[in-house]
Amino acid sequence: MNKKLYLIVLLILFISVFSYAQETEEKFLEPYSQGSQTFSINLGLLVPLFILFPNQDTVYVPFGDQLSLGGSGSLEWATFLNSRWSLGVGLAGSFAFTPQKNTHSLIPITANLTYNFIFNAFEVPLIVGAGVVVNQVDSQVYFGSIAKLGAGFFWNMNAEWAFGLRTQYWIVPEIYFDSNSDKTAYGNFLDIGLSAKFHF
């Protein structure tokens, strides 16, 4: 009798765990499908790394004392092409300071392509983005291009909200021609921060 009761309890436990695992799998393993959308809010630090001057004798120049550690923030929207790939747009902004206390700001607008690796309640997005940027130091303004490479790590708290960390590498070219070609420069920055993502 005890053995039968023991087997019944084990069977009920097994069915419960299996049902919960199925629900979890449906909820977290495939949180996205074609047409799913996300809206993300990101806040963090912008780390100035270095500048490349391809047409000068000194090609590599660390930002060093030229720019302080800065802040960054962005809003992003994306729609899923299938359960893994998404395409979206983002509006970001950043600031840092020069030694003269002038503000250096970058305002990029980018198109982003993302591939999401899904691991139960966790996801790891790999991001490639490109677009235009307003690059301003004090009263000097340059309109140019920007490229971004990034990755993140998110925990899906439920079917709607995910929270995590994200980092992106920004490459910001300033390209000049003819007699000013020696001024051509490629700024390199690291954007590291926290992210909240809403699924709908």
pLDDT digits (tens, 9 = 90+) for 28-65: 557 889 999 999 999 999 999 999 998 888 888 898 88
Count CB neighbours of 115 within 10 A: 12
Provide the residue ranges of all domains of the chain, joining segments of one domain with +: 1-30, 32-199
Model confidence pLDDT, tens digit, residues 78-135 = 999 999 999 999 999 999 999 888 999 999 999 999 999 999 899 999 999 999 999 9
pLDDT of residue 30: 76
Structural element, H or E, at residue 9:
helix 2-24
Q: What is the pTM of this model?
A: 0.81
pLDDT of residue 16: 65
Q: Comparing C-alpha atoms, which of 123, 135, 128, 140 is closest to residue 84?
A: 123
What is the rounded distance in angstroms from the CA atom of residue 192 to the CA atom of residue 194? Answer: 7
Backbone angles phi, psi at 132, to 5 degrees: -115, 160
The average confidence (pLDDT) of the chain is 89
Residue 163 · residue 152 · CB < 8 Å: no
CATH number 2.40.30.10 is the correct assignment for the domain at 32-199: no
More confidently predicted of 8 and 127: 127
Residue 145 · residue 111 · CB < 8 Å: no
Residue 134 · residue 106 · CB < 8 Å: yes
Backbone angles phi, psi at 71, to 5 degrees: -115, 155
Model confidence pLDDT, tens digit, residues 144-186 = 999 999 999 999 999 899 999 999 999 999 988 888 888 899 9
